[in-house]
Structure 1
Amino acid sequence: MSGREGGGPGSVLALACTGSFVVVMDATIVSVALPDIRTGLGFGPSGLAWVVNAYTLAFAGFLLLGGRLADVFGQRRMFAVGMGVFTVARLAAGLAATDGQLLAARAVQGLGGALLMPVTLSLVTTAFPEPAGRARALGTWSAVGAVGASSGPVLGGLLTEWAGWRWVFFVTVPVGAAAVAAAVRVLPPRVLPARAPSARAPERGGRTRPRLDVTGAVTATAGLVAVVHGVMRAPDTGWAGAPFLGSVGGGALLLVLFAVHQGRWAREPLVPLGLFRLRAVSGGNAVMFLLGLGFFASPVLLSLYLQDVHGYAPLDAGLAYLPVGAAMFAGATAASRVSLRLGPRRAAVAACLLGAAGYGAMAALAGTDASYAVSVMLPGAVFGLGTAAAFTPITVSATSGVPAHQNGLAAGVLNTVRQTSGAVGLAALSTLSAAVTTAADGDASSDASSTGGTSMATASRAALAEGYAAAFGASACLLGVAALVAWVAMPRERGPEAATERPFPRLTVARRERRLVPGSRDSPRGSSRGGRRGGA
């Protein structure tokens, strides 16, 4: 370690796990409190999803930039800044008096999470250089994240029931403040991981540092927000209306501009496009996107289904999620062994199909009179087991065949795809659920008025059940398509060396201009822009 010595590896690991825990838990702890937040701050049906999406979109959009900032300013500084921003934003969210204040605080919190999360993984790999120790430390780091994800609904239910929804934000404020203070004492001022030769901007004292692609990060985030905003407003504005087409079309243009910026203009792009020439990387990210579309809305939809249709209190809804969380932990624990036995491709296909079966069963069994054990616990355990088991083989594929100095980049791209797909999936599935509910409620109300046999309250609950069933059915279809794409797009395993069956594409001297192309072995810069690429 450079600079003054910090704490031992155990202290560094504890800090890294603390950062991972609070960031991952945030994605699920809020879900149980959403109905109370809706009542307390007057959110509309479509606006409520932005309590989750405002955080998720900012997190996804700035995740790659957060990793680059850690390289520039050092791990200690960025851990303290990321955790500090995250903690202050959670305090502001808990104190919010209007829906706009809450959404603004959630967006800032997402930025803090994006600054924090890449540093936690970098700390683990730096503090544990030996392969065996690093594997154990990464296992601990991953397990703590899984515990955070599965404990969020339970803790959120307890806090919402006993102390009010604001405490789902307040609960980690003391933890964050303590972590910032500990980081200043434990972490060294600067620990830079080994990197490939690249162009650097000079620092004071003759040192160099990587360039920051702030333009790329802002462009990507703005494009994602515009697309999801258009999808969420579609029930009110119409799918063919100018607001929907303008928002989605503008967002798509911004994302295209981001891709052009990465390929041609950025001196050190956040995402070198040559990375996707690897079939394992492109296929793994495609499967992850489909999996995220179907899975990451589940805690929110399941919590709303239990509370809106079956009248569960927030605490009961949180406790009802425990079997799903336990199945997720079991699936994540067994995933590495299954991947080694079957290979990443077949393991991903099997896991996605299992998840699709669980969602399909939940869609078929959802209803106002359905029992919890049959309609939620058993199907939830099946889709929890399958979806959690799918992440490991997909991650193995999406990061395989990449040179060591770009492992972090490949992992950052995959995390961005996960977060983005989760935001888009929540928006799309919430919209689908609301549309089906509106249609079913209208039909039931007309039937009730003509026969006099069905009350509006009963019709409304039945319509809600139909809406959530449609969303779960869509999740089943998405995971089924994910299994198909995994079978077609992910590399076939031919033996122990299959994970690295194709070398990473190397960009060489341009044929016509006979000049060095950025990203080639002899180029002083590691980006992948400009010029005509030669063969590997």
Structure 2
Amino acid sequence: MTNTTTPEHPSADSSLEHTAADRSSGGGPQSRRRRAQVLAVLCAMQLMIILDGTVVTVALPTIQGDLGFSQAGLAWVMNSYLIAFAGLLLLSGRLGDLIGSKRVFVAGLGVFTLASLICGVATSAEVLIAGRFLQGVGGALASAVILGLIVGLYPEPGEQARAMGVYGFTSAGGASIGLILGGVITQTVGWHWSFLINIPIGLAALVLAVRLLSPERGIGLGKGADLIGAALVTAGLSLGVYTIVQTAEPTAELLRTLVLAVVTLAFLGGFVLRQARATHPLLSLHIFRRRQVTAANLVVILLFAAGFGFQFMTALYVQRVLGFDSLQTGLAFLPAPLTGAVMSLFIGPRLTVRFGSRTILVAGLATLLVALLVMNQAPVGGSYVVNVAPALLLIGAGTGVGIPAAIMLAMSGADAADAGLASGLNNTAQQAGAAVGTAVLATLAASQTATRLGEGAAEVGALRDGYSAAFLAAAGFVAAAILLTGTLLRPAKS
């Protein structure tokens, strides 16, 4: 999806050509410094995207009071973002091929920064929801091309493992950092600054992206603009997320949900048929003939769904069950990013080189599974030290090694000619897994809580039961990922 130097993409990103030239000449300090700067810009955007999803989680109770959201309406602060983000990912990745990854990344960064300003100055629920939807659009545009650009910058296995470690920490640790930052900001200067803090970061990243990313032409809209396929997949993914999240609404009806589900499947089925027949498909289906690519991306979806669901549900548990305020909630998550940083930046790459990506992935998934089962047992009168902190240490360690290993397995299963396609597919799997997984688990928790309240349970107990059900479902995701890894993924070639 993002550009790569292949026969199918003759006008590939010139930054990849520079990288190849640098390798052939040994790659001097200036080249390494420039690549490190580009990696920092790409990860900064990824961090903003991840932060914004989790910063808002801590601020939700305050936002509800200030803007007058109903309990059902409050969910749309998250849902409006998820619908736009998940729906536009695949199209955004293809646009990277057609008009150039740099253009798509810069456009997404600009839209995301503008949307953050709209959210930050919002004085009504409607404006905030609109701003969040626009943030989802910008986030999808930028994030869809990030992974392909990183792979192009660091094609050598050792360097790529380290770069993926940085990217993995940004994705996994960023969620916990967002909860910490969100707590501090909400408690000290107000929830508006959860969005406004993106403005200086976004502007600085925008300037650096324009300066550091090499220009590229892309293959041209006329050579691959499958507008029908784009419309089908965007409609299918967006409607799919909406179908999931609307089930938590008090007005949700079974018949309506079933109709929405059928229409969603019709859109996605139409997209598959379109890709099989289109001259220039949005997603070439031949990539799925490679078992490792398909299996690894399924694992990535399950891993990100469980990992980000854990962050979201744990934040709600410590706030609404244990009674932590926003600042305490943020600080409570400190063990996760610290452990994740050590594992993904220092220990994980060395273990991967020694034992292989597949073995490390299984170890990471097993650690994540234990963390989810620990939180599943957290009681109403639980203790942070006994019930939460150990799970946070485990989640940091598990995702710190598991995410980079899963990404490398997904990329290693494709030929060089399909590197761009594999990059776009993998990034879509990551972001869609996080978005759809969070929606599924949040909806399940809300449904279980409503059921328990209807049975006469106390509110705190009903909330705890809802979160417990979500943790158990997330553990099921991880168990399925372990099964897929053990049965379908071949050991990565050294």
Between the two proteins, what is the percent identity of the paired residues? Answer: 37
The alignment's TM-score, normalised by the length of structure 1, stands at: 0.78
- For the 8 Å contact 1:84–1:180, the answer to whether it is kept is yes
Structure (1/2) with the larger helix percentage: 2
Deviation, structure 1 residue 201: 5.4
Matches for 1:222-371 after TM superposition, within 5 Å? 222-236=235-249, 241-265=254-278, 267-333=279-345, 334-364=347-377, 366-371=378-383
Report the CA distance between 1:118 and its aligned residue.
4.2
Write the deviation string for residues 223-265 of structure 1: whole angstroms up to 9, x where unpaired: 1222222222324478872111011111111111111111113
CA distance in 1, matches of 2:157, 2:404: 19
Match of 2:8 in 1: none
1:260 to 1:40, Cα distance in 2 relative to 1, 3 A: farther
Alignment map for 1:465-480 (pairs within 5 Å): 465-480=464-479
Which residue of 67, 70, 73 maps to 2:96?
70
* Conserved? CA contact 2:99–2:217, under 8 Å: no
Q: Does 1:398 align with 2:410?
A: yes
Bigger Rg, which one: 1
Shift of 1:280: 0.4
CA distance in 2, matches of 1:184, 1:68: 20
Aligned ranges for residues 90-169 of structure 1 at < 5 Å?
A: 90-124=116-150, 139-169=165-195
Question: Cα gap change, 1:76/1:393 in structure 2, threshold over 3 Å: closer, same or farther?
Answer: closer
2:313 aligns to what SS in structure 1?
Answer: helix
Partner of 1:512: none
The letter for the 2-side match of 1:223 is G
* Alpha-carbon distance in 1 for matches of 2:476, 2:210: 48
Amino acid at match of 2:112: F
Q: Which residue of 1 aligns with 2:486?
A: 487
Secondary structure in structure 2 of the residue aligned to 1:402: coil
Q: Is the 8 A contact 1:53 1:423 kept in 2?
A: no
| Cα deviation code 1:32-91 (max 9, x no counterpart) | 112222333344445434433432343333333333333443454333322111100111
Equivalent AA in structure 1 for residue 301 of structure 2? F
Q: Would you say the 8 A contact 1:262–1:273 is kept in 2?
A: yes
Match of residue 211, structure 1, among 219, 224, 227: 224
Is residue 180–residue 331 contact of structure 2 (8 Å, CA) maintained in 1? yes
1:25, 1:235 → 2: CA distance? 25
Q: Which residue of 1 aligns with 2:446?
A: 434
Please state whether the residue corresponding to 2:412 is helix, strand or coil.
coil
**Residue 247 of structure 2 aligns to a residue in which SS?**
helix
Structure having greater relative contact order (Cα 8 Å, sep ≥ 6):
2
Deviation by residue 1:3-41 (Cα, 9 ceiling, x = unmatched): 9x9995454344333323322322322221122223333
Please say if residues 41 and 97 of structure 1, whose CA atoms lie closer than 8 Å, have aligned partners that are also in contact.
yes
TM-score (ref. length: structure 2): 0.84
Match of 2:387 in 1: 375
Q: Is the 8 A contact 1:32 1:317 kept in 2?
A: yes
Distance 2:70 2:348 in 1: 39
CA gap of 1:98–1:294, structure 2 versus 1, over 3 A, is same
The CA RMSD over aligned residues, in Å, is: 3.0
Unaligned runs of 5+ in 1: 193-199, 203-208, 446-458, 501-536
Partner AA of 1:95 in structure 2: V
Amino acid of the structure 2 residue aligned with 1:232: V
Q: For residue 171 of structure 1, what is the aligned residue in structure 2? A: 197
Structure 1 CA distance for aligned equivalents of residues 371 and 162 of structure 2: 32
1:269 counterpart SS class? coil
1:425 shift after superposition: 2.0
Which residue, 388, 407, 424 being the options, matches 2:436? 424
Q: Conserved in 1, the CA contact under 8 Å of 2:59 and 2:326?
A: yes
Asked if 1:460 is matched to 2:459, the reply is yes
Deviation, 1:387, is 3.4
Tell me if structure 1 keeps the 8 A contact 2:244–2:443. Answer: yes
Counterpart code for 1:20: Q
Judge conservation of contact 2:296–2:410 (CA < 8 Å) in 1: yes
